[in-house]
């Protein structure tokens, strides 16, 4: 008997028919002798609808009441799934975030999970019940309902799996695993059997939409094995651990024979480039730029400082999320006297292309291959950033798909064509 967490996203819970399909899938895991907890998202589009109500009520809404409203979407689907399970003979009950409880910080609309009490959950599972838990929500020490921010249900699922010491956390989505790149751009992209936590964290942070970044970070911290599966494989699909999804695991679980130099290519068009021209080239100038942005909660990614001009000034280029561009321009405009720049230029027609793989740790030439491949296709690199297992470049948005395709081929990631 194994303990398993199954997480279903909004598309999997979109309507009664799909909820019944989810119930049938859960029943098969129970029939196999497993103890199962299910974490659910709101129905697709429901959270947006509830957020819209809050904004209509008042643009300056109270975040505590906002959490009461938007957490209702998951409360509805958890109750509906429990009803659907009971209807097919599976003992089940829903557990809201405050009932377990799932303790979080009091940062409403962006809370962090602290601890999860498992006494009631353990008793429920031991009694043969399926525990249905709404994702995305918890409770602060004040007793107020909190939410974790968009995409928080994945984090909820991983946190529940860690708390109940589950064998694995199965995350069912509208894709059937993690691919070497977006199959819509590269039809010969290959599905990966295993990916390390580090690689998945980097892929998620640079544009891969399969898993939410916070959930991967928590899985790595708590050593929770996460499996990505499709929830649309038919009612007669085999058990989850026999399906060819993708396992997110520790590096020690991946044999050297399975490991390749590059795991995947990711792209992100949600970047905006900002250049400050003629910034005084003196100590403290860079801090004067980025400190106000940090105080405003704006994440800066790629940074390039050009060679100093003979006039004693320099140009500084960096990227921010496109959604934060307007706020960034406002912050930098207010800080202009302290920074002392001459002109500000911004560009949203850019994309970040990233090459990720743990093989970089022990192999040279990865960056060189990337730069050479892009150069041969006439793709100009505007900025570069690296980590131990990632190289990212900023390019013109129009070249995104071409860059992904040629890099996928250059690193030998294309699947073999069936003969």
Looking at residue 207, what is its pLDDT?
67
Asked if pLDDT for residue 240 goes beyond 70, the answer is no
72-87 and 46-57 helices cross at what angle (nearest 10)? 150
- Global pTM exceeds 0.75: yes
Q: How does residue 311 score in pLDDT terms, banded at 50, 70 and 90?
A: confident
Question: Can you give the pLDDT at residue 419?
Answer: 46
Q: Give the torsion sign (CA, 256, 257, 259, 261).
A: positive
CA-nearest of 178, 156, 188 to 169 is 156
267 phi/psi in degrees, rounded to 5: -135, 155
pLDDT digits (tens, 9 = 90+) for 376-399: 999 999 999 988 899 999 999 999
Nearest C-alpha neighbor of 271 from the set 246, 297, 245, 299 = 299
Do the Cβ atoms of 168 and 226 come closer than 8 Å? yes
What pLDDT, in 10s, does the model give residues 139-171?
999 999 999 987 799 999 999 999 999 999 999
Lowest mean pLDDT among 167-181, 336-350, 390-404: 167-181
Of residues 291, 312, 309, the one with CA closest to residue 300: 291
Residue identified by tokens 């199959």 is 183
**Packing angle of the helix pair 72-87, 16-31 (nearest 10 deg):** 60
Q: How confident is the model at residue 256 (pLDDT cuts 50, 70, 90)?
A: low
Q: Which of 68, 66, 71, 64 is nearest to 55 (CA)?
A: 66
Q: Is the pLDDT of residue 370 over 80?
A: yes
Instruction: Please name the residues in contact with 31: beta carbons below 8 A apart, sequence gap of 6 or more.
Output: none
Determine the Cα–Cα distance for residues 100 and 159; give it in Å rounded to an integer: 13
Q: What residues contact 271, with CB distance under 8 A and at least 6 apart?
A: 301, 319, 320, 321, 322, 348, 350, 351, 352, 394
Nearest to 192 by CA among 210, 205, 218: 210
Provide the pLDDT confidence category of residue 212 given band limits of 50, 70 and 90: confident
High-pLDDT (> 70) share of the chain, %: 94
Grouping H, G, I as helix, E, B as strand and the rest as coil, residue 177 is coil
Among the listed residues 5, 378, 31, 353, the one whose alpha carbon sits nearest the alpha carbon of residue 157: 5
Instruction: Give the whole-angstrom CA distance, residue 84 versus residue 309.
Output: 69
pLDDT at 48: 94
Residues 6+ apart with CB under 8 A from 320: 271, 272, 274, 293, 298, 299, 300, 301, 328
Separation of alpha carbons 282 and 92, rounded Å: 65
Token output for 301: 């990614």
Identify the pLDDT of residue 235: 53
Closest CA to 37 of 154, 130, 99: 130
Residue 31 φ/ψ, nearest 5 degrees: -65, -25
What pLDDT shows up at residue 55? 93
Two tokens, residue 127: 């009694």
Q: Distance between CA 403 and CA 379 in Å, rounded?
A: 8
Quick one: 28 exposed, middle or buried, by C-beta within 10 A (0-12, 13-18, 19+)?
A: middle
Pairing verdict, β 113-116 and 102-104: antiparallel
CB-CB neighbours of 151 under 10 Å: 18
List % helix, strand, coil for the chain (3-state, nearest 5). Answer: 35, 25, 35
- Residue in 219, 182, 230, 223 with CA at minimum distance from that of residue 351: 182
């Amino acid at each position: 008997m194994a303990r398993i967490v199954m997480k279903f996203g909004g598309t999997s819970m979109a309507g009664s028919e799909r909820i019944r399909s989810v119930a049938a899938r859960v029943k098969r895991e129970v029939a196999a002798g497993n103890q199962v907890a299910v974490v659910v998202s709101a129905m697709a589009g429901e959270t947006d609808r509830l957020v819209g109500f809050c904004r209509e009520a008042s643009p300056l809404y109270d975040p505590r009441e906002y959490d009461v409203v938007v957490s209702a979407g998951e409360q509805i689907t958890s109750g509906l799934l429990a009803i659907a399970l009971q209807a097919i003979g599976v003992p089940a009950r829903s557990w809201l975030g405050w009932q377990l409880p799932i303790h979080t910080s009091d940062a409403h609309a962006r809370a962090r999970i602290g601890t999860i009490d498992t006494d009631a959950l353990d008793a429920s599972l031991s009694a043969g019940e399926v525990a249905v838990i709404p994702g995305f929500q918890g409770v602060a020490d004040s007793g107020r309902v909190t939410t974790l921010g968009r995409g928080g249900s994945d984090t909820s699922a991983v946190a529940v799996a860690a708390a109940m010491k589950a064998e694995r956390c199965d995350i069912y989505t509208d894709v059937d695993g993690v691919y070497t790149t977006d199959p819509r751009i590269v039809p010969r992209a290959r599905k990966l059997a295993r990916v390390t936590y580090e690689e998945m964290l980097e892929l998620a942070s640079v544009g891969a939409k399969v898993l939410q970044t916070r959930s991967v970070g928590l899985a790595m911290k708590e050593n929770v094995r996460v499996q990505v599966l499709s929830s649309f494989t038919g009612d007669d699909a085999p058990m989850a651990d026999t399906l060819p999804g993708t396992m997110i695991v520790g590096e020690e679980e991946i044999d050297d024979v399975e490991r390749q130099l590059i795991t995947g290519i990711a792209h992100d068009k949600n970047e905006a480039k900002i250049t400050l021209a003629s910034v005084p080239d003196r100590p403290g100038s860079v801090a004067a730029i980025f400190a106000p942005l940090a105080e405003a909660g704006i994440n800066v990614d790629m940074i390039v400082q050009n060679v100093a001009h003979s006039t004693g000034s320099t140009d500084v280029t960096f990227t921010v999320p496109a959604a934060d561009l307007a706020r960034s321009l406002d912050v930098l405009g207010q800080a202009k006297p302290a920074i002392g720049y001459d002109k500000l230029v911004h560009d949203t027609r850019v994309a970040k292309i990233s090459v990720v793989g743990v093989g970089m740790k022990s192999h040279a030439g990865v960056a060189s291959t990337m730069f050479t491949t892009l150069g041969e296709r006439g793709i100009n690199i505007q900025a570069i950033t690296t980590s131990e297992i990632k190289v990212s470049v900023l390019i013109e948005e129009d070249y995104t798909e071409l860059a992904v395709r040629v890099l996928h081929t250059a690193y030998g990631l294309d699947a073999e064509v069936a003969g």
